[in-house]
Structure 1
Amino acid sequence: MTTVGDEVGDPGAKTSVSPGWEATADLVVVGTGVAGLTAALRARELGLSVLVVTKAEVTDSNTRWAQGGVAVVDLATGDSVADHVADTLAAGGGLCEEDVVRYIVAGGPAAVARLRARGTTFDRADDGSLARTREGGHSAFRVIHAGGDATGAEVERALAADVGRQRVPVLERHIAVDTLRTPSGGVGGLLLLDRDGARCVVRARAVLLATGGFGQLYQATSNPEIATGDGLALALRAGAVAADLEFVQFHPTVLYTPGARGRCPLVTEAVRGEGAVLVDATGARVMPGVHPLGDLAPRDVVSAAITRRMAATGGDHVYLDATGIDGFARRFPTVHAACARVSVDPAQEPIPVTPAAHFACGGVATSPEGRTGVPGLYAAGEVARTGLHGANRLASNSLLEGLVVGERAAEAVAMDLAAGELAPLGRAVPRAVVAPIADRELVQRLMSRHAAIGRDADGLSGAAARIAAVRQDRALDSHRAVEDAALTLLADALLVAAAERTESRGCHVRTDFAERDDVRWQRSLPVRLDATGTPAVLAPALASGAA
């Protein structure tokens, strides 16, 4: 058995292992964003042997690209946990679980304190306190930030540095293909592929998925290229239940560039928090009369309003007028640099913007401690559905969730190990994995056309039929194949959930069912693979998600 190196930066911890190696650990964490690295560090503190796996570099994640900040209450400012909870529930369209919301929001201040102790530096106000801004859907200035609009990059830097100091082993350029199963049906490790497609095995008492979202399911997204939903697909194939998959949040304002595909630069919501307003090509305001909070309405409301205005005017973008913000380049250096690359000066002219896929509100159904319904399998961060976000995520609650649930998931693994609830290391033989794959560009085009902000029955069924007609079973023997299989499976799952929900709520907007229907649909839709491997919506009585 080849031994994995002891620290980040040790070549043996990355990609120099020989084909066919095996390793063991108490806990394998898949993903190196805020949830994954926080969980790995906490598990190490609790005395667990930990291995972190990432298909890219240790600092590559959705977290790195987060601009706005962390929503966290400071009682000294007059804010309260109750107010933050109320704002989250209002944004979530009636599908948040209030006890989960309160649990995560209340855990925020302590989690941020520990994050700062790990080396994260947040911006400060003139009086030395943490600087706070307000974002859409928030009733208070509670969003702390770093580097102006580079919060995610600073959080990622600090956590990765601490992982190195604590000598937590990280395996880079390895992708998770399949779970190893215990005799009782639980999860006991992972089959991995290295960058050359060689198979590797990690046997573990527990696996924690922290793989982020699936923004690459769409043609235009704020997400990086790695956001292909691999962890969610892995969980579904392991028998886990997912929920709220139809709720994909489109950020209202990514920088518009004609014909842009892939990751588009985000124009953080904090720009509107500092006073910028949305206008159309004629200079007419977009948001007055749409929502009491105007330009600071929740994201689903703003994205839908922009989409309607574009349809009415025949345009493919609107504008964000930030010319009234003093010191824009200093406050928002990341946005300013992105604008400069397309010859836009935010101090002198409005910024062209359009909505793009941003965040998966649903995911693997878990408890707020990250437990799924499959023994040995845990999930945290965007890949998980804890009940915090409901039908639409409140701005800057994602980093908060990753911090709190990442820690709690590590603690849950330690408790379950101590209680003897996890299977001992086994000798399960990895199975050959074959899965349906459709052309990625076709899937992205169909999802962008029929499963974005405006959906209807004909479009959803047509997209599902087109994907079904072209997909073919293929061996998952490369990183690209694993990603394409995940996107194909998640397209099927999202389409079946979106077709089932015959109403409009939060991020899920149906043009053929334009009204919200609390009588029939104020509930989450659980999805699980049936015996043929096809995603199916479970009847409420059959839904058993998190443990």
Structure 2
Amino acid sequence: MTRENIFKRYQVSFDSKTLQHIFTDTLIIGSGVAGLSAAIHAAKGGSVLVVTKTAINENCTEHAQGGIAAKLSRNDSFKRHIDDTLKTGQGICDDEIVSGVIREGPKRVKELISWGAKFDKENGKLVFTKEGGHSRPRILRARGDSTGKEVEETLINVVKRNPQIRVFEHTFALDLLVSKNTCDGIIAWRSREGKILIWAKQTILASGGCGQVYRETTNPEMTTGDGIAMAYRAGVKLQDLEFVQFHPTTLYVAGAERVLISETVRGEGGVLRNKYGELFMSKYHPGAELAPRDIVSRSIVHEIRRTDHTHVYLDVRHISKEKLRTRFPKIKKLCASFGINITRQLIPVHPSAHYMIGGVKVDQNGRTSMKNLYACGEVSCTGLHGANRLGSNSLLEGLVFGYRTGSMAGMELGVKKEDLPPRSFEEPSKSYSYSELDLEDLKNSLKSLMWRSVGIEREGKHLKEAIRNIKHWSKYIISNEFSSPLGWEIQNMLTVSLLISSAAFMRCETRGVHYRLDHPGTDDKHWKKHIIVYNGKYGFVR
């Protein structure tokens, strides 16, 4: 199926003859768990340059609270973890990928520990907790509820000690440089130098997700879908973009960011109550508070609607004060800053966009459909998550595929030792200039539209409305040429939003995180398959 392609190839005009050129063996876009893991392993084969849009530690990994799911306990098994992942993925996981990642996971976690990561212990032994969808406690945590921060700081320390790795912070990756379906690097922008060309023998996309396309999101401000958008403009195959995971419990206080209240809070005994103080999860699912995330999110939405209220409440008052202090110090401090004493008061919570399950389609080694281009982490679609991600499998995936893509890039460098000559690239200006554009207003309008029409519950007529509005905005935003990150980010957000909405409209069933009010049943006969998109064309693969 072919759809109208309203997107231009490059975001900016440029001439390679007039720009600064930078060379590296491996280029990595992104500095979260996947990107830095890839950098460490790619450095074994040659020089590495990591570019990141903001500071090196400003990413979703840094904010991750819950932990890493891995079979490290004697009371667990690979089979149980595999079965839990497949069950949560609702029939469209890649079985081979699931088995491979889960079996390789403990090795990557032990490697992380050898690099200095300190996970929480009791009596000298690692502590494991349980989250929704998991049949056994297998989630490793660090600093109580700051696992991501421990992981990120460990990886940054390893990267800084490696002379083969350079890091360019505050560098906006604009577009992939491509000739004959081969990636040669990127055009990027830095505030001092302006546009620059970075040439690389191997490029690894690890730029994270796109939660900022939604009004309510747990994601930090930089997660605007840049990697997915630049891959689409370059003609790289994308998959499963209709599947966006919404986290059930984020702090819902006027004026506060939608900060995640980790699922491990429910794993440690926290319960959900409606505005009348009633427990309600058991009537929606036998797993109650530990049901898969998609079910908990929809149950909360139903309860909010039923009780005519704006949110529900997370109750941890029955958990000991000492346990709350040691287990959830970050959450306790955060709530206290808004006058909520979690030992005595209920925590107001509401679902928010949390994780992009779809992304750049890759194989078991992280290779994309384009030569010399890899992808790992949230920007990629590996097949591990299917239609719904099992909690704490994302950091695991980042470690495993960071290792795989970095190692493969390093190996390729050993085979191809010749230098990469710069090619002549020119993108003449073809844009129209629209004056008096209020970009912040458009950004807020897009986020509200996506939340309203392409959120937790979806319906064909509202998806059509979303597609129509996004196309209208795109006609005068995409065609424009901007000179600063805000404009480029909004172009990327429009691109990703249209791709999500279009895939959601096409999938006429309910599966995992994709819930259609007008198609409430799961249809294996027609829809046990994946939606692929590239170059404005849509296709299917089972």
Which residue pairs with 2:34 in the alignment? Answer: 35
Counterparts of 1:330 and 1:178, CA distance in 2: 45
Deviations 1:337-392 (A, max 9, x none): 11111111111122110000000011000012110010011100000000001111
Which residue pairs with 1:157 in the alignment? Answer: 153
For residue 469 of structure 1, the aligned residue among 461, 469, 472 is 472
What is the Cα deviation at residue 20 of structure 1?
3.6
Aligned partners of 1:191 and 1:430 also within 8 Å = no
Do structure 1's residue 365 and structure 2's residue 357 form an aligned pair? no
Aligned partners of 1:20 and 1:199 also within 8 Å = yes
User: What residue ranges of structure 1 are gaps of 5+ in the alignment?
Assistant: 1-18, 531-535, 542-547
Which residue pairs with 2:507 in the alignment? Answer: 501
For residue 61 of structure 2, the aligned residue among 60, 63, 67 is 63
Which residue pairs with 1:137 in the alignment? Answer: 133
CA 1:197–1:424 in structure 2 vs 1: closer, same or farther (change >3 Å)? closer
Deviations 1:459-495 (A, max 9, x none): 0111111122233111143211221111000011001
Which residue pairs with 2:458 in the alignment? Answer: 455
CA 1:373–1:102 in structure 2 vs 1: closer, same or farther (change >3 Å)? same
3-state secondary structure, aligned to 1:220:
coil
Which residue pairs with 1:296 in the alignment? Answer: 290
What is the Cα deviation at residue 196 of structure 1?
5.2
Deviations 1:14-56 (A, max 9, x none): xxxxx94211111100000000000001111x22110000010
Which residue pairs with 2:486 in the alignment? Answer: 480
What is the Cα deviation at residue 425 of structure 1?
3.8
Do structure 1's residue 101 and structure 2's residue 107 form an aligned pair? no
What is the Cα deviation at residue 257 of structure 1?
1.2
CA 1:455–1:433 in structure 2 vs 1: closer, same or farther (change >3 Å)? farther
Which residue pairs with 2:49 in the alignment? Answer: 51
For residue 399 of structure 1, the aligned residue among 378, 395, 398 is 395
For residue 178 of structure 2, the aligned residue among 168, 175, 181 is 181
> Could you tell me the TM-score, scaled by structure 1's length?
0.90
**What amino acid is the match of 2:534?**
R
What is the Cα deviation at residue 540 of structure 1?
4.1
Deviations 1:250-277 (A, max 9, x none): 00000011365xx411100000000011
3-state secondary structure, aligned to 2:521:
coil
Which residue pairs with 1:443 in the alignment? Answer: 446
What is the Cα deviation at residue 292 of structure 1?
2.3
Which residue pairs with 1:269 in the alignment? Answer: 263
Counterparts of 1:443 and 1:435, CA distance in 2: 22
**What amino acid is the match of 1:502?**
C
**What amino acid is the match of 2:119?**
F
CA 1:433–1:336 in structure 2 vs 1: closer, same or farther (change >3 Å)? farther
Counterparts of 2:526 and 2:411, CA distance in 1: 38
What is the Cα deviation at residue 527 of structure 1?
1.4
CA 1:283–1:409 in structure 2 vs 1: closer, same or farther (change >3 Å)? same
For residue 252 of structure 1, the aligned residue among 226, 248, 251 is 248
3-state secondary structure, aligned to 1:505:
coil
Aligned partners of 1:322 and 1:346 also within 8 Å = yes
CA 1:432–1:143 in structure 2 vs 1: closer, same or farther (change >3 Å)? farther
What is the Cα deviation at residue 431 of structure 1?
2.8
Counterparts of 1:435 and 1:363, CA distance in 2: 28
Counterparts of 1:252 and 1:197, CA distance in 2: 43
What is the Cα deviation at residue 430 of structure 1?
5.0
For residue 305 of structure 1, the aligned residue among 267, 292, 299 is 299
Counterparts of 1:240 and 1:31, CA distance in 2: 18
3-state secondary structure, aligned to 1:359:
strand
Provide the aligned C-alpha RMSD in A.
1.9
**What amino acid is the match of 1:538?**
G
Aligned partners of 1:188 and 1:423 also within 8 Å = no
Aligned partners of 1:180 and 1:188 also within 8 Å = yes
**What amino acid is the match of 1:275?**
G
3-state secondary structure, aligned to 1:337:
helix
Counterparts of 2:193 and 2:488, CA distance in 1: 11
Do structure 1's residue 317 and structure 2's residue 308 form an aligned pair? no
Which residue pairs with 1:4 in the alignment? Answer: none
Aligned partners of 1:204 and 1:425 also within 8 Å = no
Deviations 1:483-512 (A, max 9, x none): 111100001100110000011111111111
What is the Cα deviation at residue 161 of structure 1?
1.3
CA 1:324–1:428 in structure 2 vs 1: closer, same or farther (change >3 Å)? farther
**What amino acid is the match of 2:38?**
A
**What amino acid is the match of 2:290?**
L
**What amino acid is the match of 1:248?**
V
Aligned partners of 1:362 and 1:384 also within 8 Å = yes
State which drifts further: 213-222 or 290-299. 290-299
Which residue pairs with 1:537 in the alignment? Answer: 538
Counterparts of 1:220 and 1:341, CA distance in 2: 20
Aligned partners of 1:496 and 1:537 also within 8 Å = no
User: What residue ranges of structure 2 are gaps of 5+ in the alignment?
Assistant: 1-17
Aligned partners of 2:362 and 2:374 also within 8 Å = yes
What is the Cα deviation at residue 185 of structure 1?
2.2
Counterparts of 2:116 and 2:361, CA distance in 1: 32
CA 1:234–1:284 in structure 2 vs 1: closer, same or farther (change >3 Å)? same
> Could you tell me the TM-score, scaled by structure 2's length?
0.91
Counterparts of 1:85 and 1:217, CA distance in 2: 31
Counterparts of 1:421 and 1:368, CA distance in 2: 25
**What amino acid is the match of 1:62?**
C
Aligned partners of 1:197 and 1:478 also within 8 Å = no
Which residue pairs with 1:3 in the alignment? Answer: none
Deviations 1:36-90 (A, max 9, x none): 000001111x22110000010111111000000000101x422111110000011
**What amino acid is the match of 1:86?**
D
What is the Cα deviation at residue 422 of structure 1?
10
Which residue pairs with 2:166 in the alignment? Answer: 169
Counterparts of 2:276 and 2:353, CA distance in 1: 26
Aligned partners of 2:204 and 2:374 also within 8 Å = yes
Counterparts of 2:430 and 2:122, CA distance in 1: 54
CA 1:244–1:421 in structure 2 vs 1: closer, same or farther (change >3 Å)? farther
What is the Cα deviation at residue 455 of structure 1?
0.7
Identity %: 39
Aligned partners of 2:289 and 2:296 also within 8 Å = yes
What is the Cα deviation at residue 414 of structure 1?
2.4
Do structure 1's residue 125 and structure 2's residue 116 form an aligned pair? no
Counterparts of 2:421 and 2:127, CA distance in 1: 47
**What amino acid is the match of 2:296?**
V
CA 1:434–1:502 in structure 2 vs 1: closer, same or farther (change >3 Å)? farther
Deviations 1:274-296 (A, max 9, x none): 00111101111121132221110
CA 1:65–1:422 in structure 2 vs 1: closer, same or farther (change >3 Å)? farther
For residue 380 of structure 2, the aligned residue among 366, 381, 384 is 384
Aligned partners of 2:199 and 2:420 also within 8 Å = no
Deviations 1:218-271 (A, max 9, x none): 0111100000010111111111111111111000000011365xx411100000
In the comparison of the two structures, how many residue pairs are matched?
512
Counterparts of 1:247 and 1:446, CA distance in 2: 17
Which residue pairs with 1:14 in the alignment? Answer: none
Structure number with higher relative contact order (C-alpha < 8 Å, ≥ 6 residues apart): 2
CA 1:540–1:422 in structure 2 vs 1: closer, same or farther (change >3 Å)? farther
